[in-house]
Structure 1
Amino acid sequence: MLFSRHILRRSIGSLLFAGLAAATLGATPANAATPEEIKARGKLIVGVLTDYPPFGGTDAQQQPAGYDADVAKLLAKSLGVTPELVPVTGPNRIPYLLTNKVDVLIATFGITADRSKQVLFSNPYSTLTIYVLAPKSLNVKTPDDLKAVTISVARASTQDTAISAIAPQGTTLKRFDDDATALQALISGQVQAIGASNTILAQLNKDYPQLNIEPKITLREQGNGMAFRKSDTALQEYANKFIAEIENNGELNAINQRWFGIALKKLPPMPQF
């Protein structure tokens, strides 16, 4: 199946799931704040992406699946509770957390200074590299070259922030609701470049080799963390111990092998802001 259809189907599914989750969770907020309260409730409610495979996609039954979902299930198992995976999108991740619709976000969430003002982050549990991607024929070598280029990004993503910070005034930056539509804009020729990760690059080169897409500018090496409400320090501490444990015992490496086909690299330290 072509990647654009593959990821777009997941994007549509994520919106349907997110709407259902919002309606379902509206009456019963996920207001458990400590591991003990979550254990007493018997359920861990986790926000995950479903439009960003293989970190976050859906399986044949249209249930959340991927690297993040596997980590979420392991976290629930360590707590001795049942996982409930709630699809979220890039723009609504923080609102879902702060309005108690989920206990924690495990949603390919890059650890940034701005985001750390709103949420607590765990130590990184995964990484990715963010680039400006474009065809080899497009002459882009420095940020100044972006002024002549139309670029798509997922709104409120780390690539949106990173490109906005380096692009000269007058650069045309088209923001879309998710990575799927930002990607489709590149494939269909609406834009000349995209802000995206090495995951997207690998899929583009696999499914659309004729586009000859390559990295033009490396924007950042991104460590992804779980996110919690500011008051949920006990849950954050539990998560940090859990991440260290599954990195050391090989379970996180097994998840990386399952979804990316390669061994897990050493996780980066927590960024200091």
Structure 2
Amino acid sequence: MRNSLCTSMKWCWLISLVVMLAGCASGFMEEPPRSRVIETPQNQKLKGWQKPYEVFGQRYHPLLDHEGFVEDGLASWYGRDFHGKKTSNGEVYNMHDMTAAHKTLPLGIFVRVTNKSNGRETIVRLNDRGPFVKGRIIDLSYSAAKELGVVGPGTAPVRVEALGYRQTGPDGEVSYRAPSSYDVGSYTVQIGAFTVLENAERLAAQMRDREGHSAIERGYVENQLFYRVRAGKYTSLESAENAAQKFTLQGFPSSFVVATN
């Protein structure tokens, strides 16, 4: 009887501990958003990030035109937990880049974000979807949030103004434009990532001969330095996606498209 009681008490203690830990974890862990793209005959020619999608039962309809878009709401930010993971347009998220996530604006455009509580403003490029938390309108990268003074408080009231694609004139003056087609832009394909620089340089040299252009980008993932080899220059998303498929068939299965500024 005593052994039975002890066993029962041990199980009760274990179950209580599990429940307690689960309760603590729920305070700082969020369920990752699960998205479902809505496919229809009318949107077959659209890119994946241009199609309607659902997250947590809520449907979103991405805009194909950004002109005149202004929005007021709450900004948040995301950092190390997402660093090194793919964004909605295929890029790898870098918390130190000036980027952001928005639920419906066209990816690739630049927006001006103004912190209404302190007057600070900055310009970021959209490369991801989100945030999927009620009341929030934009998720800033760590660097963008730091510049706006959002890192400390975690959120801040902001105004988001869509600018368009960035271009630089002969005199170095920066301006923004609406593209004639949202497929037009500047893209390359990442075909591999190495921890040894010599391996990255060897592949980059081969790709430079074959594709006419190759570059090595450095980046950290969980404190590990990687040398990312990117090949080719493409002026449309479609041509870049075709190149990524070609690289995959040539023995680079992790190839994906990267938008460049």
Q: Which has the larger radius of gyration?
A: 2
What TM-score does the superposition give when structure 2 sets the normalisation length? Answer: 0.27
Q: Tell me: higher relative CO, structure 1 or 2? Use CA pairs within 8 A at least 6 residues apart.
A: 1
What TM-score does the superposition give when structure 1 sets the normalisation length? Answer: 0.26
